[in-house]
Amino acid sequence: MFVSNNSCLAPTSFWLTGIPGLESLHIWLSIPFSSMYLVAVVGNVIILAVVKMERSLHQPMYFFLCMLAVIDLVLSTSTMPKLLAIFWFGAHHIDLDACLAQMFFIHCFATVESGIFLAMAFDRYVAICDPLHHTSVLTHTVVSRLGLAALLRGVLYIGPLPLMIRLRLSLYRTQIIAHSYCEHMAVVTVACGDTTVNDFYGMGIGFLVLIVDSLAITASYVMIFRAVMGLATPEAKLKTLGTCSSHICAILVFYIPIAISSLTHRFGHHVPPHIHILLANFYLLIPPILNPVVYAVRTRQIREKLLYILKAGAHPK
């Protein structure tokens, strides 16, 4: 529903196109997307269940892993049900308030996830560079506070985005958003009036999260590698680095797709729209899918507990 004001309109809802340019393939695209979403949900729920059941996993690294699992469930669930509804039922309409809520959850929890990776880097730094004080520094209380700090930072950083749209951008050139979900720049692009503040705020938050967090994580690993190189034997070096391998893989899985998607969106003006949208969806799906796989494969305790549960289920008493 629109209220006209010259050439601009005041919407109460938007129309999400899904994957623009590939509308005829929506039903076929639903197969890989629904499969990936199912894998993401099942994988992260399994991680949460395994850590909850196994008391030996009640350690900072695994608590942070559970936080990642919850975040990944929120991120994928914020986008995939609506995308699948578009694919299966043609449910393109989304209310303005629902659009802004979706925008908040997507950008907020992506920011929170970056914060958790930063906290995990701090955990690995203390565990390797100051192992005698690891249990006293990374207590359950400290882990909880780091998780809460990451959440509050996400809320404080991203909270203004939908508010600025609601308060400053009431008129739009079109109801149609050429995207599969309410991404901040996709909404701002179709707005009438001056969007400079929205643009700069969005870019500033992207810089703080993507650049500053990644630099801080890199700095922590430089210090970790220096400490590892000081160990006496090659076996000790490999064993110590092995404790960081899962975290490094998860960081790469998170930052590389989001960096590629952001760079393509900002500078890839000649890239077809459907490539933009597919990349944007993949960066919200790939980490939730791969994080459980990375930790299940690379972490012996999780792997052994998972195999025990599978064997117990296959041979019930």
- The domain that holds 185 is classified in CATH as 1.20.1070.10
| Confidence at residue 6, expressed as pLDDT on a 0 to 100 scale | 57
| Confidence at residue 230, expressed as pLDDT on a 0 to 100 scale | 73
Q: Domains in the chain: how many in total?
A: 1
- Cβ neighbors of 29 (< 8 A, separation 6 or more) are 19, 22, 87
| Confidence at residue 2, expressed as pLDDT on a 0 to 100 scale | 46
4 lies in some domain: no
7 lies in some domain: no
| Confidence at residue 251, expressed as pLDDT on a 0 to 100 scale | 87
8 lies in some domain: no
107 lies in some domain: yes
- Measure the CA–CA gap between 115 and 61, rounded to whole angstroms: 14
| Confidence at residue 316, expressed as pLDDT on a 0 to 100 scale | 58
- Nearest to residue 153, comparing CAs of 205, 75, 200? 205
Q: Tell me the residue range of the domain where 221 lies.
A: 13-312
pLDDT in tens, the chain (317 residues): 444 455 888 888 999 999 888 888 899 999 999 999 999 999 999 899 888 888 888 899 889 999 999 999 999 999 999 999 999 999 999 999 999 999 999 999 999 999 999 999 999 889 888 888 888 999 999 999 999 999 999 999 999 999 999 988 889 999 999 899 999 988 999 999 889 999 899 989 988 888 889 899 999 888 888 887 776 677 766 776 777 777 888 888 888 877 777 777 666 667 788 888 888 888 888 889 988 888 777 677 777 777 777 776 666 55
192 lies in some domain: yes
168 lies in some domain: yes
Distances (CA, A) of 166 to 2, 71, 100, 101, 270: 15, 26, 8, 11, 31
5 lies in some domain: no
94 lies in some domain: yes
72 φ, ψ (degrees, to nearest 5)? -65, -35
Distances (CA, A) of 97 to 93, 163, 278: 12, 11, 24
